[in-house]
């Protein structure tokens, strides 16, 4: 092969020398080069060049450009665009290998380096956990509890602390937390209220911005977020707001519609953009509290109608999201077993239970009722019952027993109350930021498949 190439090279050089010297090569044509094309280019075409075709360029293809492919775009990359010269095989001008014009090569129309339509480059995000039973923590409201230094009702607005959120989530994740539950509207946080009826006039944009930051941080750590909307216990405790809450849950004077359209609706718009991290939403924490007031003329059917109305509104805006209404107080398992939550279109049931031995009556019957209703069940809150006794051993044993029972019964998630220092007997974090021993049990269950 080397000899042939050398010989051909010498012949080419010889022909070129002859052309340059104006020497004729024997032939019968009318051109000075001896070929019948009338030219002096040494070829048999009619365009005056030496490439053997009539397209007016000097390459050997049949288009009118000077590259070596036949697409006429002026480059040799084999595609039909003109602004990039890479052999990308597409027809756009951005130089990548996809069919869009964003130049990033990932096949979507955003400018991130991922394959979704968001603007972030999230291909390096960790895979979300898919445990048979998700294990995590209730945070409720971020940072301090009730008292002079409280963040209750301000944790996603005026006292939002992103650095604190990052540190909190890091510590939860390191201690078995694959899911975290937050309250949203405790103390009517974010509500813009007027003096007329309905009182709700709007919602704080700061809340929405900070909620989105919270969701981004949880997603970066592969932690599911479970959100609670209304706090039912306030409706029983804050008597000064009784009229407001009555109007809201009964949709009197359009207060319920105002809540849905001006508060819950904008929140759902945010959640719709974060479906990869939002695990579910709770319509109202422990509806047994407002039923005890009662907030409805009929505390059974009135409360059920409220749950159904909220469920339907949420599904109309966010059909993808799991929806529930949590069962609390001492009779919570009997509300589930007795069918209070049945037939409302809920996606799962959430049982809250507190006990000093980690057990409770009719646990299997609760599970069986959920199965019969075609939904799954979670242990959305649990902990010791005796509030005055801050006992590490008690918390450790109670946590282990509740987790063991929930796992064996096939519950899909289990979250003890509560991660942050309160102070209370339930906290997993002490005032000096050290962790109580019960986190070791959480780590054990959090590592299970």
pLDDT higher than threshold 70 for residue 243: yes
Helix, strand, coil fractions of the chain, as percent rounded to 5: 35, 15, 50
Same domain, 180 and 40: no
Together in a domain, 257 and 375: yes
Q: Are strands 191-193 and 200-203 parallel, antiparallel or unpaired?
A: antiparallel
Selected residue with higher pLDDT from 35 and 262: 262
Highest mean pLDDT among 3-7, 24-28, 71-75: 71-75
239 inside domain: yes
Q: Over the stretch 347-388, which tens digit does the pLDDT of each residue have?
A: 999 999 999 999 999 999 999 999 999 999 999 999 999 998
The DSSP 8-state label assigned to residue 194 in this structure reads -
Any domain includes 125: no
pLDDT in tens, 389-399: 899 999 999 99
| 343 domain residue, yes or no | yes
The proportion of the chain whose per-residue pLDDT surpasses 90, expressed as a percent, equals 67
CATH number of the domain residue 185 falls in: 3.20.20.80
> Of 281, 379, 397, 279, whose CA–CA distance to 332 is shortest?
379
Mean pLDDT of 233-246: 96
Dump pLDDT digits (tens) for 67-125. Answer: 666 666 666 666 666 656 555 656 565 555 555 555 555 555 554 445 554 444 455 79
Residue 138 sits in the same domain as residue 32: no
Higher pLDDT, 7 or 145: 145
| pLDDT of the residue at 354 | 97
pLDDT at 181: 98
**Contacting residues for 21 by C-beta, under 8 A, at least 6 apart:** none
pLDDT band at 292 (very low <50, low <70, confident <90, very high): very high
Q: What are the pLDDT digits (tens) for 195-229?
A: 999 999 999 999 999 999 999 999 999 999 999 99
Residue 24 pLDDT > 50: no
Answer whether 407's CB lies under 8 Å from 445's CB: yes
Indicate whether 246 and 395 sit together in one domain: yes
| Overall average pLDDT of the 288-295 stretch | 96
Q: Please indicate, yes or no, if residue 59 is contained in any of the structural domains.
A: no
What is the Cα–Cα distance from 247 to 255, expressed in whole angstroms? 6
Question: Looking at residue 143, what is its pLDDT?
Answer: 80
66 part of a folded domain = no
At residue 11, the pLDDT reads 32
Are 35 and 177 members of one domain?
no
Whether residue 143 sits in one domain with residue 41? no
pLDDT band at 422 (very low <50, low <70, confident <90, very high): confident
Is residue 353 classed exposed, middle or buried when 0-12, 13-18 and 19+ CB atoms within 10 A define those classes? buried
- Residue 148: per-residue pLDDT: 47
- The answer as to whether 85 is a domain residue is no
Tokens of 343: 């037939």
Local structure of 289: helix, strand or coil: helix
Q: Percent of the chain scored above 70 by pLDDT?
A: 71
Cα separation values, 114 from 100, 108, 125, Å: 14, 8, 10
More confident residue, 91 or 34: 91
Give burial (CB, 10 Å; 0-12/13-18/19+) of 352: buried
Same domain, 413 and 280: yes
Same domain, 25 and 140: no
Q: Is the per-residue pLDDT at 36 higher than 50?
A: no
Whole-number Å distance between alpha carbons of 271 and 265: 10
Q: Please report the sign of the dihedral spanned by the C-alpha atoms of residue 56, residue 59, residue 62, residue 67.
A: negative
Tell me if residue 1 falls in helix, strand or coil: coil
Which backbone phi and psi does 179 adopt, to 5 degrees?
-150, 145
Cα distance between residue 104 and residue 96, in whole Å: 6
Q: Number of structural domains, the chain?
A: 2
Q: What is the mean pLDDT of residues 156-165?
A: 93
Residue 323 lies in a domain: yes
Name the residue range of residue 23's domain. Answer: 1-45
Chain center to CA of 86: 36
pLDDT of residue 429: 96
Is 48's pLDDT higher than 80? no
The answer to whether residue 404 sits within a structural domain is yes
Q: Say if residue 4 is in the same domain as residue 143.
A: no
Q: Are residues 441 and 302 in the same domain?
A: yes
Answer yes or no: do 161 and 272 share one domain: yes
Q: What's the mean pLDDT when you consider all of the chain?
A: 83
Report the alpha-carbon distance of residue 127 to residue 115 in Å, rounded.
15
Mean pLDDT of 31-54: 53
Q: Are residues 24 and 147 in the same domain?
A: no
Residue 53 in this model has a pLDDT that exceeds 90: no
> What's the pLDDT score for residue 365?
98
Q: What is the pLDDT of residue 116?
A: 52
Q: What is d(CA 126, CA 219) in angstroms, rounded to the nearest whole number?
A: 8
């Amino acid at each position: 092969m080397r000899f042939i190439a050398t010989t051909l090279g010498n012949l080419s050089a010889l022909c070129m020398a002859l052309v340059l010297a104006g020497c004729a090569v024997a032939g019968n044509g009318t051109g000075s080069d001896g070929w019948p094309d009338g030219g002096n280019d040494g070829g048999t075409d009619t365009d005056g060049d030496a490439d053997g075709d009539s397209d007016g360029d000097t390459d050997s293809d049949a288009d009118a450009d000077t590259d070596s492919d036949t697409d006429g775009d002026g480059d040799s990359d084999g595609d039909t665009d003109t602004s990039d010269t890479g052999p990308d095989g597409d027809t756009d001008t951005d130089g990548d290998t996809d069919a869009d014009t964003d130049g990033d090569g990932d096949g979507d129309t955003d400018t991130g380096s991922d394959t979704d339509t968001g603007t972030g480059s999230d291909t390096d995000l960790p895979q979300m956990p898919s445990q048979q039973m998700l294990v995590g923590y209730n945070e409720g409201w971020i940072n301090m509890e009730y008292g002079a230094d409280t963040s209750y009702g301000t944790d996603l607005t005026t006292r939002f602390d992103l650095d604190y959120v990052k540190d909190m989530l890091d510590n939860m994740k390191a201690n078995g937390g694959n899911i975290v539950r937050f309250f949203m509207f405790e103390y009517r946080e974010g509500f813009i209220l007027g003096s007329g009826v309905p009182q709700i006039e709007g919602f704080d944009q700061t809340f929405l911005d900070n909620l989105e930051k919270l969701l981004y941080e949880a997603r970066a750590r592969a932690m599911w977020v479970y959100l609670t909307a209304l706090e039912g216990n306030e409706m029983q405790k804050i008597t000064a707001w009784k009229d407001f809450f009555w109007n809201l849950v009964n949709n009197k004077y359009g207060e319920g519609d105002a809540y849905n359209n001006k508060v819950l609706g904008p929140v759902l718009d945010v959640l719709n953009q974060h479906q990869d991290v939002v695990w579910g939403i709770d319509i109202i924490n422990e509806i047994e509290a407002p039923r005890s007031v009662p907030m409805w003329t009929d505390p059974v059917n009135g409360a059920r109608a409220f749950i159904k109305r909220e469920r339907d509104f949420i599904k109309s805006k966010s059909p993808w999201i799991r929806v529930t209404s949590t069962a609390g107080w001492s009779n919570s398992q009997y509300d589930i077993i007795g069918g209070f939550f049945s037939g409302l279109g809920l996606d799962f049931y959430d049982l809250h239970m507190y006990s000093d031995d980690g057990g409770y009556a009719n646990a299997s019957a609760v599970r069986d009722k959920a199965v019969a209703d075609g939904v799954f069940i979670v242990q959305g809150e649990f902990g010791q019952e005796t509030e005055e006794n801050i006992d590490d051993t008690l918390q450790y044993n109670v946590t282990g027993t509740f987790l063991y029972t929930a796992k064996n019964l096939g519950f899909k998630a289990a979250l003890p109350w509560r991660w942050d220092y309160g102070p209370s007997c339930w906290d997993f974090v002490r005032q000096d930021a050290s962790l109580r021993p019960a986190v070791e049990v959480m780590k054990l269950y959090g590592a299970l498949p």
